[in-house]
């Protein structure tokens, strides 16, 4: 019945737009629906159409008040400032537009009822393990949507930076592969429309924030995808981009106002990408502005979130995706680049509606202090509170990659990992950081460690057992490799995702890949059952002879982890760890399920042990 009402409302809206086209044409209304019963009862509706600002607007609907209409530089836009009372009923709100010729046209704007328990939805936490997928490169479940009329770029698997045809259906067909790894959440690179002439397969040049890219599927397909993921025990984290849009976004052809974006198409510069300037108390304004107000790329105009209309547009857009589609989390791209106060307000407003929801921001900075600045409730000297729950631990990723490739020293080898974790005092919540060894922007971990599978396994153990929220990039478990100097090399198609592939990792993995998949699945499935690894305290010991030992404890559960970064086996004297062992000298090797005697403990070279005490 709800779907029927939505269809009727959509049809009425289209009829209203069609009728209005007699005098001028409504091109866009965003958000195109809303809900009663939201905690914040304010709503901003953007209407875009030829000379729309010349109309007088009136609304007569119990519980809905039109506070004011806002006109901007461009007469083709109107912004409506509405209040929806707590006792307002779901239904079709008539928005009456009266033109200079006294002609009245009515837009039927739908207010929906919220789903039961919507505000209490639980986002991802440190109990989860996240699997990152680039939809265009994972699996092509529906070849009929590879090329869509009106979409500028056609599919061509022979073009490294082109569209290859992966889609939502392809991912949904292989959810068992993902759950088999012990994953509990999927992070999708952006799936909103990227109708750019070329090289937008990655999704970060959005041209319509309210549509799924047609080459991935439809909005209804995405809703069904989320439901299928939930049925398989997987949360869905949606990648969003507020810092910039694609230069082919529909509003770039008819900007609402001069300051909707920073700088113009004809007179813009590219960011200096110096994110340290945002938190630097000594930074010059010119350097900070170049980082935060210049374009991210020549095809990626910089959104001006200091404009309240732009800010509220993006806040409401996020809530619209959460409420309509049931997503469980957001990963926000290029987090420190937009206006930081607008981003803080976004986090606050989303959390106001969904207190248990979670958001992770891309904080690509190599210093823990500079990353920690962006986590909520950190005691920043300038008083800034981002309200952002989760930051991405790039410093730990850098330390892990370096540590596995160098000899032990005062500050090298596994000591690098120790030193980064020693800075956890800078975070308000060290469990709420995303830990990873690679993603769609970084060189493949197997490439980074020189193709050494033993080192890759060590890294996998570490990511599964250290504090925080672990994230794997698709293909880590299948020994996929690639040099990060070319994005196309780390974003290759997953073997078997396309009909006619010579080999399928989904059904017939080679033995080496199968071994790595099984290894990854074993440790992450154990993590899935271990409260100590999900949310336990971490105690670690200064590495000796490049052997790093740490413990995770929660309640009565205690896990001991050892990493040996040398090529030689080593015998470990466990007396040093008595603080955590508390007299225990027996345990179970989680990976081999063999009994372990800590009185005579040895560890092979280039390996890790996970021992349940």
Q: Encoding tokens for residue 245?
A: 């849009």
**Residue 115 three-state SS:** coil
Spatial CA neighbour of 81 closest among 419, 308, 401 = 308
CB of 372 within 8 A of CB of 379? no
* Gap between the Cα atoms of 591 and 310, Å rounded: 51
* Gap between the Cα atoms of 400 and 406, Å rounded: 11
Q: What are phi and psi of 133, to 5 degrees?
A: -130, 135
16, 72, 277, 300 from 56: Cα distances, Å: 16, 15, 45, 35
Mention every residue, 6+ apart, whose C-beta is less than 8 A from residue 595: 586, 587, 588, 589
Among candidate residues 312, 333, 393, 477, the one labeled active-site is: 333
Spatial CA neighbour of 364 closest among 400, 335, 329 = 335
- For the packed helices 453-465 and 511-529, what is the interaxial angle rounded to 10 degrees? 20
159 is catalytic: no
DSSP 8-state class, residue 383: -
Q: How far is CA 397 from the centre of its chain?
A: 17
60 is catalytic: no
Spatial CA neighbour of 58 closest among 96, 109, 13, 17 = 96
Residue with tokens 């596995």: 404
Mention every residue, 6+ apart, whose C-beta is less than 8 A from residue 194: 200, 201, 202, 203, 204, 205, 206, 207, 213, 246
CA Rg value for the chain? 26
Among candidate residues 153, 167, 323, 362, the one labeled active-site is: 362
Q: Encoding tokens for residue 455?
A: 């080192």
Length of the chain equals 613
Sign of the Cα torsion 313, 357, 370, 426 reads: positive
Catalytic residue ranges? 333, 362
């Amino acid at each position: 019945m709800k779907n029927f009402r939505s269809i009727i409302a959509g049809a009425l809206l289209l009829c209203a737009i069609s009728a209005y086209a007699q005098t001028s044409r409504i091109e866009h209304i965003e958000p195109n629906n809303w809900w009663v019963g939201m905690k914040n009862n304010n709503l901003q509706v953007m209407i875009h159409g030829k000379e729309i600002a010349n109309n007088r607007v009136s609304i007569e609907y119990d519980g809905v008040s039109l506070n004011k209409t806002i006109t901007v530089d461009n007469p083709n836009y109107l912004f409506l400032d509405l209040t929806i009372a707590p006792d307002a009923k779901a239904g079709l709100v008539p928005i009456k537009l009266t033109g200079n010729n006294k002609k009245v046209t009515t837009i039927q704007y739908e207010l929906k009822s919220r789903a039961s328990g919507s505000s209490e939805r639980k986002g991802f936490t440190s109990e989860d393990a996240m699997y990152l997928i680039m939809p265009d490169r994972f699996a092509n479940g529906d070849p009929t949507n590879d090329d869509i009329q009106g979409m500028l770029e056609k599919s061509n698997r022979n073009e490294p930076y082109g569209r290859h045809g992966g889609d939502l259906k392809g991912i949904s067909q292989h959810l068992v592969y993902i759950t088999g790894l012990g994953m509990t959440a999927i992070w999708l690179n952006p799936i909103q429309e990227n109708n750019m002439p070329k090289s937008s397969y990655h999704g970060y040049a959005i041209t319509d924030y309210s549509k799924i890219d047609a080459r991935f599927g439809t909005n209804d397909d995405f809703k069904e995808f989320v439901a299928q993921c939930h049925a398989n025990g997987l949360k869905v984290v949606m990648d969003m981009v507020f810092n910039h849009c694609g230069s082919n976004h529909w509003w770039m052809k008819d900007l609402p106002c001069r300051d909707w974006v920073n700088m113009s198409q004809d007179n813009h510069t590219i960011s200096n990408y110096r994110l340290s300037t945002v938190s630097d108390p000594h930074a010059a304004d010119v350097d900070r502005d170049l980082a935060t107000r210049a374009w991210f790329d020549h095809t990626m105009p910089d959104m001006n979130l200091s404009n309240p209309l732009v800010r509220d547009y993006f806040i409401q857009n996020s809530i619209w995706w959460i409420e309509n589609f049931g997503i469980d989390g957001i990963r926000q791209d290029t987090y420190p680049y937009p206006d930081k106060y607008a981003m803080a307000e976004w986090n606050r407003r989303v959390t106001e509606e969904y207190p248990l929801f979670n958001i992770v921001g891309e904080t690509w900075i190599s210093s823990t202090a500079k990353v920690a600045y962006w986590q909520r409730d950190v005691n920043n000297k300038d008083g800034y509170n981002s309200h952002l729950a989760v930051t991405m631990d790039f410093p730990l990723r850098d330390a892990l990659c370096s540590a596995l490739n160098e000899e032990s020293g005062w500050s090298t080898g596994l000591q690098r990992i120790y030193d980064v974790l020693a800075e956890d005092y800078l975070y308000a919540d060290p469990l709420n950081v995303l830990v990873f060894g690679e993603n769609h922007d970084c060189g493949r971990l197997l490439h980074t460690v020189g193709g050494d599978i033993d080192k890759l396994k060590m890294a996998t153990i570490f990511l599964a057992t250290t504090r925080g929220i672990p994230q794997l990039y698709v293909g880590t478990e299948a020994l996929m490799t690639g040099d990060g100097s070319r994005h196309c090399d780390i974003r290759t198609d997953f073997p078997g995702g396309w009909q006619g592939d010579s080999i399928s990792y989904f059904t017939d993995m080679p033995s080496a890949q199968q071994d790595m998949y099984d290894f990854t699945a074993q440790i992450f499935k154990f993590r899935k059952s271990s409260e100590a690894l999900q949310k336990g305290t971490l105690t670690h010991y200064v590495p000796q002879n490049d052997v790093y030992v740490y413990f995770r404890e929660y309640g009565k559960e205690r896990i001991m982890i050892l990493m040996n970064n040398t090529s030689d086996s080593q015998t470990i004297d466990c007396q040093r760890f008595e603080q955590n062992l508390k007299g225990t000298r027996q345990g179970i090797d989680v990976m081999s399920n063999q009994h372990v005697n800590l009185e005579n403990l040895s560890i092979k070279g280039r390996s890790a042990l996970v021992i349940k005490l």
